Amino acid sequence: CSGSGGEGGGEGGEGKPITVGFSQVGAESEWRTANTRSVKEALVAPEFRLRFSDAQQKQENQIKALRSFIAQRVDVIAFSPVVESGWETVLREAKAANIPVVLTDRAVDVSDESLYVTFIGSDFVEEGRRAARWLIEDSEGKTGPVRIVELQGTVGSAPANDRMRGFKEVIEGDSRFQIVRSQSGDFTRAKGKEVMEAFIKAENGGIDVLFAHNDDMAIGAIQAIEEAGLKPGSDIRIVSIDGVRGAFEAMKAGKLNATVECNPLLGEQLAQLIRDVHAGREVPRRVTVEEGVYTMDQAAAELPNRKY
């Protein structure tokens, strides 16, 4: 695939900066603030002129931002879509205006694949599988049932859909595991705590494991577990996703068992894709990110190395 536009080299042709309209999901998590920082640090003058817009987790705000970027005739639009569906119309408007679109972090569900040029981000299905594989390994020798509650991410978002799918795919092969409750905590600490409180009440002590779609919700849930007089990390084992510093601190304190890494530091790679797309160079359709899994016993040694 290739985008349309300028002349190559470091700038937008004839020494002009590349104007990028970037629509961010929001500031819902530690992961997100690290991602915003990384994007802002990479898309800097004189090479780039960044128009940054925060959608506060609302698709309607993102659609407005995209339309405003189109009206301003930016060179490239990059965005991290809050949810997967509902993008066809606005993306068609961008295409009609000849503005290439780069997806970052989250995917969209569109029937016309030509509506975006490339997508850089993690493999969320694999992250869900990794969380489940950790759980299976950690449950060696345990008899069932293992009762799991799931704190899901934002309803309709790619990471919520995919992490749930990957996790289920792996645990379905082992009859000990049962997901007894699932609800969205919208990727925030406050909601994670609130929903976990409701889970604890409803299950009346019958929860063995929490699978949280991100670390922030797990950290919120840890508070709820402690306030209920239970021990996070042992009474309820917890696995979450992202690998933010807060998760490493919780693991070091013995309150979180494992975190599956999801790297938010995409800024430099995004900048390179934008350069290439703007210059009309070929870019891969999909760029993924290398990531690992970290457990409680690795936390103290790994914490000083964490970059987010």
Does residue 103 interact with ligand AHR by CB under 6 A? no
Residue 85, judged by CB atoms within 10 A of its CB (0-12, 13-18, 19+), counts as exposed
Quote the tokens at residue 269. 């790679």
Contact region with ligand AHR (CB under 6 A), list: 16-24, 25-33, 41-49, 138-146: 25-33
Does residue 24 interact with ligand AHR by CB under 6 A? no
Q: What residues between 210 and 249 interact with ligand AHR by CB under 6 A?
A: 214, 216, 241-242
Rounded CA-CA distance 160/186 in Å is 9
Q: Which is nearer to ligand AHR, 70 or 239 (CB)?
A: 239
Does residue 81 interact with ligand AHR by CB under 6 A? no
Does residue 84 interact with ligand AHR by CB under 6 A? no
Contact region with ligand AHR (CB under 6 A), list: 27-35, 203-211, 266-274, 282-290: 27-35
Nearest distance from C-beta of residue 8 to ligand AHR, angstroms: 31
Rounded CA-CA distance 31/11 in Å is 29
Rounded CA-CA distance 124/302 in Å is 23
Does residue 187 interact with ligand AHR by CB under 6 A? yes
Q: Which is nearer to ligand AHR, 84 or 105 (CB)?
A: 105
Q: What residues between 253 and 272 interact with ligand AHR by CB under 6 A?
A: 262
Cβ neighbours of 145 (radius 10 Å): 13
Rounded CA-CA distance 175/167 in Å is 14
The alpha carbons of the chain give a radius of gyration, in whole angstroms, of 21
Amino acid at 296: M
Nearest distance from C-beta of residue 81 to ligand AHR, angstroms: 9
Do 263 and 30 contact (CB within 8 A), yes or no? Answer: no
Instruction: List interacting residues with ligand AHR (CB under 6 A).
Output: 28-29, 31-32, 105-106, 159, 187, 214, 216, 241-242, 262
